[in-house]
Amino acid sequence: MSQLVTVIHFSGHQYLRHRLVLSILSGKPVKIDKIRPDDKNPGLRDYEVSLLRLLERVTNGTVIEISVTGTAILVKPGIIAGGTVVHDCPLSRSIGYFLEPAVMLAPFSKKPLQLTLRGITSDDRDLSADLIRTVTLPHLQLFGISEGLELRIKKRGAPPLGGGEVQFLCPIVKQVKTMNFVDRGRVKRIRGIAHAVRVSPQFSNRMIEAARSVLNRYIPDIYLYSDVYKGEDSGKSPGYALSLLAESTTGVIRSAEAVSVPGGTPEDVALTASRALLSEIRRGGCVDKQHQTLVLLMMVLGSEDVGRCKMGEPTPRTIQFLRDVHQAFSTSFKIVPADKSEQGSSELLFSCYGTGYVNANRTVA
Amino acid sequence: MDDRQHKAHRPALSGAKAEKKKGKGKEKQHGYNEKAFAPRSGRRAERQGRRNIERDQTRLHVPLVNRIPDDEPPPVVVAIVGPPGVGKTTLVKSLVRRYTKQTLNHVQGPITVISGKKKRITFIECNSDLNSMIDIAKVADLVLLMIDGSYGFEMETFEFLNILQTHGFPKVIGVLTHLDLIKKASTLKDTKKALKKRFWTEIYQGAKLFYLSGVLNGRYPDTEILNLSRFISVMKFRPLIFRNSHSYMLADRIEDLTPREEVRASKGKCDRTVTVYGYLRGTNMRPGTKVHIPGVGDLQVKSITKLGDPCPLPDADSEKRRKLSEKQKLLVHAPMSDIGGVMYDKDAVYINVPGSFTRGSNEVPLGEGERMVMDLQDINTTLDDAVARSQIKLFGSSSKPLAVDPGPSRLHSGSEDEEDEDEADDMPEDEDDEDEFEGSEGEEEWGSDAEIEGDEDEEEEEEEKEGGRGRSAPRNVRRGTGGLPSGHDRRGKAIDFADSDSDMGDFDEDEDVDDVPRPGGGARVRFDDEEDVHVQSDDEDEMDEDKEDVPRWKTNLGGRAQAAFEEHSRKRQRNWMKLIYSSSLTPEQIVRGDSLTSQGQNKDEAEDDFFTIKSKGTVGDTEEELDMTKEKVDPEALKAWEDEELLDSIRNLFITGGSGTGDAGGDDGYEDLESSADFVDLEAQTDGQEGATASGDPETAHSVTLAAKKELLKKKFDEQYDDPEDSKMDFYEEKKDEIARQLQLNRAEFENIDPEARALVEGYRPGSYVRVELTDVPAEMIENFDPAYPIVVGGLLPAEERLGYVQVRIKRHRWYAKTLKTNDPLIFSLGWRRFQSIPIYSLDDHSIRMRMLKYTPEHTHCYATFYGPVALPNTGFCAFNSLAGDAAGFRVSATGVVLDIDRSTKIVKKLKLTGVPYKIFKNTAFIKDMFSSALEVAKFEGANIRTVSGIRGQVKKALPKPDGAFRATFEDKILMSDIVFLRAWYSIQPRKFYNPVTSLLLSDKGRWSGMRLTGQVRREEGLKTPLNVNSTYKKVERAPRRFNVLKVPRKLQKALPYASKPKLMKPQGKPTYMQKRAVVMEPEEKKAIALLQQIRALRKDQAARRKEKQNERKEVHRKKVAKEEEQKSEKEKEKRKEYMRAAGMKSKREADKEEGRSSKRRKI
């Protein structure tokens, strides 16, 4: 009798990353069609192809079939191999675009992943390398992935020419821990990194000043680091950015960032970042909106116990992610308002029963 | 004998003796003498203490999570295993009789009985087929291993124990039977002892072994069975890792659901739809997982339905008693055992007609006729009553029924009810009609759902709830043909406008009302879609009403929409589960707050929806095109933060912000920081507190907070001062506590959501009796179904559905007679599966390479890699060369554990390339015949080569002629006769061969045969092995090697010093002096020589005679020995004859037994 292979079917170019991640983790082949069929330039973009390349390199035995027009792909995932991988990211997207799926996959690989990515380290679309280092990786620690988890920013690269380089080291785990995170606590400290490359180092100081002007009214414990890269390490284009994170008493980390725009001032950037941080704090929940998918994924992959997490309202990405998770792992979340009695609160309590995902790729002995 | 009464002993009641006795007794009662056990020295005390601690440590085991629910655990699977004729069926019957007081005639399939207030047992008898033994070993919690005491252990027993070991080793109790066949008491004692010893070495020292004496009334003695049942009931089970991570089920019933017509049309060959029934075990079974039935294959689960427990645990009232009530005792569930579908209950005999239905199972597709009958059953009022009571609501949301004058309404409703029956049949057409009208998606879904469900109850409920909705459209059509004027017209228009309605403020509340009573709206299949529809219809209805006062509707359009949105996003609690999992809204729509009534909101687009959709699409393309993590920041939204009030409003979210009661979540953040006490406890408190805080007015809230704080402080104080040692747990305790807490949370989290949503979120829990519907089941499974073979439904993890290369550590079983050879097929039992695959054996060669082995090594592990279904690393397996029952010897050929899974392998085997020199310079030589082209040479440039004599060298460069020749350098000059070779490694892949053992599909289940070996095929087909002439061994002709003489030129010779000069001389041509001289003797000399010759002759003669004498003596001895030999052989013959006679008798008895077993009537 032949093996029944269920192919998960998706349409549209959106959410390509987490769909591929889910496919690789669940081992189910995925077929994605209608990738920009009506566009002037139909089919996959260069960065999407590059992402597929990266995933092919990180895994072993993955078969990727792209249709002639590029508007449909079929991915038959292999196993996550890990090891040392070097990848040059195209300049159309920043490193964050590639690093996020890598972060989701890396703990479940056969060998610890050492991924070197070259390209743009921060832009306004994806998480910057700074935020991934200071916010995303601590989120993994909630699930017991900590020893040897590191992101090194070797060089910075601002858009449009990039030239940055980061190195991502991730250990492997057998199984992620079940999370139970419902107490958001209160913000106890604010940290931030202001970096400026190929511009006057004063810019970062100006950003810090401006951010402090907004945030100082709340809390005195604010440290904003000025991080200036020089020479070779500063990439090929000028740029500056500010990334902020607020940590609560219970370890909740919320983040926001803003990057330079042509013609803007450092003060504008700082104000945008700090106000975005404030609105993020106001949203509530134990996980900020950029990391909802990561946390939910790890909850699904946990042992066969109930994991709970309090979050703000889901973003469209999260909603689609939940639907895709349901398709890939047939796991649904119980989503209820965190405190029913309170009217104004939009906090939701996500709880799910983990699938008991075990890292089958890991070698014993 | 002698009946004389002995005088009873009368103990002294007073006196010294009584005193003494009393003292002794008291002392004994008192316990032990402390002095007696006190250590004699400090060192001894230390040693004793250490020993105690060590003993305590051995008691500890790695804490494992027990996922079996406490409230309603699945029945314990007790498997009865043993060789044929050992008394398995008798034991099952005896045990069932013990528990249920019923006598079974035929024991087949699992038999579930209630053994206690919280305990049930499923008995299953395992036949002696190896496949069944493997399957049983994977599901049994307790094995009653039966051994024929009069015979001893048999091969099957040991094989089964080995299978058990590799699959997690459940608990085993040995049962010795046929002990009555041993007549002599001392033999009996010795036999028992010997068997026990062997049993203990096989399981563990002290393993329980039961002795059952003879059979009475076809059962074992009641006392012995009672004892055995007591042992079974007190048995504790440690969770096994594999079963703790997989859900599984031992099917106790199987039904074929395929339409008969389809079966008939395909002559019984079509794939079947099959339902299997049983208790779930292991972990939760999620809908949508795949299952594997060993012996059949991987199957897709179409649906899982929880059914009423056929063998329920005693309920609350009987639980008050200490013992199980007699009534409860009589329950037995054994659907396969009752041939002819007869089931016994306390005072009735049930005849179970296959294909009967239960009202509880809603999702079984029913036939038309059945539905009609069920329909009739459901009616509990007369038609007249129904008509009298019927009310018509015009719209689902209208609060009052339509009050129409009795005459027409009566007529109308009557017709409605009449239509009721064929409602379901009409459904598809109805739906079509609706589609024509509205093209709304929700309805379509609803329609099809209803079609599938076909459940009248549900439908009627819906209809009642939703008023006219369900049947409005068809009836409209009918009315249209009837020529009813206004109503239909209006409705038609209304539907046209359905998309454009925007008044959501009103119906919003309606929807709220609907939402509230159903907290777990995530149940997808059942009512969400329907609700969806319901709301939509509201929408239409509202709009119907609105349409009458158009001006009002149009006036404050924007304002109201805005207000509605505000209110909606803030106040309304949306059912996210429903929105996400069972609505077809896009994520963006959900986030924007479009409810299910979404379309109405986009009022601007509503004017001309054709164009707007298009424009929206294009806008979306440019803006939302990218898959971004960070959302675009809206500068306008951030502008809001310039407002001081807003800035201040979030002050309480910071630790410096003071405790505002408005935000309860942040309240105790500070305390957390200070106390940093137990996380979960705190959180639990927080929850309680939150509720209280929010509910009451600020005053009470404050007091509550204070109380909570006090409580917390008190707890902290207690922890610190009461018993600081006690609160500190060691690692083991901590882990156990953690597990217990998580289990508690698991139970609590989904306690009060409705069962269907619960099943969606967490799956079906172990212990529930479920019906699993499987599709595309091979027809042979049903055709050749035999209840004596267990059906195990094993749930698969996502990783296990794939195929890949599996690397295992393997060891040939030391009792398996042959060695295992690479590329010979082997049958594995791994995970749930049994399959045949082709392994390649290998060993790690200095951690550099995996080197192929042709054969498995003796008594040591090696690696094996094969292509097959993936199993998680650390899963144990056992392997067989043949599963046939008639295979001689021990059948388990290897055991091992999975190490690694991959999509490629790195096994290499040694390859030697040889070549010969065709031209030799000093240290350089030209080598040919190693490669065939210059390209190949280029690939091997710099490679090390060697001659047979051990001269090492290197490949340098290819030569133009002949092809494949190359230049090589050596450390010394090589000879023309030398063979040069290059050692290389050639990577090999295991063959992609995977052949599941489909034993359950065969009519003769023990006769499965997989791929055969070439030799086997040749033998069976009578073919000769083809012989390659070049492969035959020939005698190696080695001509003696001739070396040329060393010629040193004369000139050089001259120049050499004497010592170095070659001193070659010609062999002597002339005879030497000693050779050519003549000897002439003197007379004395002649005499002396003659004398000597005579003496020698005499001596010779003497020796000859002596020899002759000796021979004579020897002859006599030889004869004697021969005679003895003959006697001995005679004896031997006799002995053998005796033995053979015994063996013959035994085999005859065996045959008798066999016969007896088949006729179920054993003579004792």
pTM above 0.90, yes or no: no
One-letter amino acid for residue B1009 of the chain:
S
Distance from CA of B25 to the nearest CA of A (A): 56
3-state secondary structure string across B136-161 = HHHHCCEEEEEEECCCECCHHHHHHH
B745/A308 touch (CB, cutoff 8 Å), yes or no = yes
Predicted local confidence at residue B32, as pLDDT: 66
One-letter amino acid for residue B520 of the chain:
G
Nearest CA among B324, B263, B320, B317 for reference residue B119: B324
Same domain, A226 and A305: no
Please tell me the distance from the alpha carbon of residue B638 to that of residue B282, in angstroms, as a whole number: 52
Same domain, A328 and A252: no
- For residue B993, the chain A residues in CB contact (below 8 A) are none
Please tell me the total count of domains within chain A: 2
Name the residue among A186, A351, A364 with its Cβ closest to that of B670: A186
Please tell me the distance from the alpha carbon of residue A343 to that of residue B477, in angstroms, as a whole number: 46
Same domain, A249 and A264: yes
Beta partners for residue B907, in sequence order? B850, B988
**Lowest mean pLDDT across A8-22, B157-171, B499-513, B1073-1087:** B499-513
Is residue B810 a contact partner of residue B863, using CB atoms and an 8 Å limit?
yes
Over residues A219-225, mean pLDDT: 91
Predicted local confidence at residue B324, as pLDDT: 61
Over residues B228-244, mean pLDDT: 92
The DSSP string of B19-39 is HHHHHHHHHHHH---HHHHS-
Listed residues A283, A304, A329: the one ending a domain? A283
Please tell me the distance from the alpha carbon of residue B79 to that of residue B92, in angstroms, as a whole number: 9
Residues 223-262 of B with CB under 8 A from A: 245
Listed residues A234, A261, A283: the one ending a domain? A283
- Strand pairing report for B966-970 and B952-958: antiparallel
ipTM: 0.92
H or E element that contains B1159:
helix B1083-1159
Predicted local confidence at residue B755, as pLDDT: 83
Helix residue ranges, H only, B237-305: 241-245, 260-265
One-letter amino acid for residue B455 of the chain:
D
Q: Within a domain: residue A344?
A: yes
Structural domains of chain B, ranges and CATH numbers in brackets: 76-243 (3.40.50.300), 369-483 (no CATH), 499-609 (no CATH), 644-713 (no CATH), 797-905 (2.40.30.10)
Q: Within a domain: residue A92?
A: no
**Lowest mean pLDDT across B242-256, B383-397, B439-453:** B439-453
- For residue A281, the chain B residues in CB contact (below 8 A) are 650, 653
Query: What are B286-307's pLDDT values in tens digits?
Result: 888 899 999 999 999 999 999 8
Q: Within a domain: residue A262?
A: yes
Is residue B108 a contact partner of residue B766, using CB atoms and an 8 Å limit?
no
Same domain, A297 and A272: no
pLDDT confidence tier of residue B389, bands split at 50, 70 and 90: low
Beta partners for residue A8, in sequence order? A30
Please tell me the distance from the alpha carbon of residue A297 to that of residue A291, in angstroms, as a whole number: 10
Same domain, A206 and A259: yes
**Lowest mean pLDDT across A157-161, B180-184, B390-394, B808-812:** B390-394
Please tell me the distance from the alpha carbon of residue B929 to that of residue B933, in angstroms, as a whole number: 10
Query: What are B450-502's pLDDT values in tens digits?
Result: 344 434 444 444 444 443 333 333 333 333 333 333 333 333 333 333 333 33
Mean pLDDT, chain B, whole residue set:
77
Cα angle B732, B737, B743 (rounded to 5 degrees) comes to: 130
Over residues B1121-1148, mean pLDDT: 95
Predicted local confidence at residue A294, as pLDDT: 94
Predicted local confidence at residue B7, as pLDDT: 85
Predicted local confidence at residue B607, as pLDDT: 43
A281/B653 touch (CB, cutoff 8 Å), yes or no = yes
Query: What are B701-727's pLDDT values in tens digits?
Result: 788 888 888 888 888 877 777 665 555
Work out the burial of residue A236: count CB atoms within 10 Å of its CB; fewer than 13 is exposed, 13-18 middle, 19 or more buried.
middle
pLDDT of residue B573 exceeding 80: no
Same domain, A234 and A308: no
Q: Within a domain: residue A31?
A: no
Predicted local confidence at residue B172, as pLDDT: 95
Q: Within a domain: residue A50?
A: no
A358/B245 touch (CB, cutoff 8 Å), yes or no = yes
Predicted local confidence at residue B712, as pLDDT: 86
B647 touches chain A (CB under 8 A): yes
Residues 408-427 of B with CB under 8 A from A: none
Residue scoring higher pLDDT (B508 or B978): B978
Over residues B515-523, mean pLDDT: 36
pLDDT confidence tier of residue B568, bands split at 50, 70 and 90: very low
Residues 55-94 of B with CB under 8 A from A: 65, 67
Please tell me the distance from the alpha carbon of residue B572 to that of residue B547, in angstroms, as a whole number: 26
Is residue B492 a contact partner of residue B498, using CB atoms and an 8 Å limit?
no
Predicted local confidence at residue B728, as pLDDT: 67
B105 touches chain A (CB under 8 A): no
The DSSP string of A66-124 is E-TTSS-EEEE--EE-EEEEEEEPPTTSBHHHHHHHHHHHGGGSSEEEEEEEEEBS--S
Q: Within a domain: residue A51?
A: no
pLDDT of residue B343 exceeding 80: no
pLDDT of residue A94 exceeding 60: yes
Grouping H, G, I as helix, E, B as strand and the rest as coil, residue B953 is strand
**Lowest mean pLDDT across A126-135, B377-386, B662-671:** B662-671
CATH of the domain at A210: 3.30.360.20
Contacts of A357 (CB under 8 A, 6+ apart): A25, A108, A175, A176, A300, A301, A302, B798
- For residue A183, the chain B residues in CB contact (below 8 A) are 665, 669, 672, 679, 682-683, 686
B1012 touches chain A (CB under 8 A): no
pLDDT confidence tier of residue B423, bands split at 50, 70 and 90: very low
A306/B746 touch (CB, cutoff 8 Å), yes or no = yes
Helix residue ranges, H only, chain A: 16-26, 46-58, 95-105, 129-131, 137-141, 202-215, 266-283, 292-300, 316-329
Contacts of B353 (CB under 8 A, 6+ apart): B341
Same domain, A262 and A304: no
Same domain, A294 and A246: no
Is residue A177 a contact partner of residue A139, using CB atoms and an 8 Å limit?
no
Please tell me the distance from the alpha carbon of residue B1003 to that of residue A355, in angstroms, as a whole number: 38
pLDDT confidence tier of residue B900, bands split at 50, 70 and 90: very high
- Strand pairing report for B862-869 and A111-119: unpaired
Is residue B237 a contact partner of residue B204, using CB atoms and an 8 Å limit?
no
Please tell me the distance from the alpha carbon of residue B154 to that of residue A235, in angstroms, as a whole number: 77
Listed residues A227, A261, A283: the one ending a domain? A283
Same domain, A227 and A295: no
Query: What are B85-126's pLDDT values in tens digits?
Result: 999 999 999 999 898 888 887 888 899 988 888 889 999 999
Helix residue ranges, H only, B454-528: 456-466, 469-482, 486-496, 504-515
Please tell me the distance from the alpha carbon of residue B640 to that of residue B1161, in angstroms, as a whole number: 92
Strands (DSSP E) contained in B608-757 are none
* Diameter of chain B measured on Cα atoms: 177
Q: A310 is in which domain, residue-wise?
A: 288-353
Q: Within a domain: residue A121?
A: no
CATH of the domain at A329: 3.30.1370
Please tell me the distance from the alpha carbon of residue B441 to that of residue B463, in angstroms, as a whole number: 19
- For residue B571, the chain A residues in CB contact (below 8 A) are 343
Q: Please, what is the angle between helix B486-496 and helix B529-548, to 10°? A: 110
Q: Which residues of B675-693 are buried (b: 16+ CB within 10 A; e: fewer)?
A: eeeeeeebbebbeebbbbb
Is residue B147 a contact partner of residue B86, using CB atoms and an 8 Å limit?
yes
Predicted local confidence at residue B901, as pLDDT: 93
Same domain, A207 and A223: yes
Please tell me the distance from the alpha carbon of residue B1034 to that of residue B27, in angstroms, as a whole number: 92
Distance from CA of B868 to the nearest CA of A (A): 11
Query: What are B987-997's pLDDT values in tens digits?
Result: 999 999 999 99
B522 touches chain A (CB under 8 A): yes
A304/B284 touch (CB, cutoff 8 Å), yes or no = yes
pLDDT of residue B528 exceeding 70: no
pLDDT of residue B254 exceeding 70: yes
One-letter amino acid for residue B764 of the chain:
Y
Q: Within a domain: residue A329?
A: yes
One-letter amino acid for residue B182 of the chain:
I
Q: Which residue of A has its CA nearest to B292?
A: A3
Contacts of B440 (CB under 8 A, 6+ apart): B434, B498, B533, B536
Same domain, A243 and A314: no
Phi-psi region of B1022 (alpha: psi -120 to 50; beta: other; left: phi over 0): left
B587 touches chain A (CB under 8 A): yes
**C-alpha B859: how far from chain center:** 29
Query: What are A271-291's pLDDT values in tens digits?
Result: 999 999 998 898 888 998 899
Same domain, A196 and A269: yes
Residues 182-221 of B with CB under 8 A from A: none
Contacts of B592 (CB under 8 A, 6+ apart): none
H or E element that contains B808:
strand B803-812
Q: Can you state the percent helix, strand and coil of chain B, rounding each to 5?
A: 45, 15, 35
B288 touches chain A (CB under 8 A): yes
pLDDT confidence tier of residue B746, bands split at 50, 70 and 90: confident
- For residue A279, the chain B residues in CB contact (below 8 A) are 637-638, 641
Over residues B733-751, mean pLDDT: 88
A338/B635 touch (CB, cutoff 8 Å), yes or no = no
B948 touches chain A (CB under 8 A): no
Name the residue among B630, B680, B897 with its Cβ closest to that of A180: B680
Beta partners for residue B249, in sequence order? B280, B793
Q: Which residue of A has its CA nearest to B67?
A: A304
Residue B901: CB atoms within 10 Å: 26
Is residue A256 a contact partner of residue A276, using CB atoms and an 8 Å limit?
yes
Per-residue DSSP letter, B1060: G
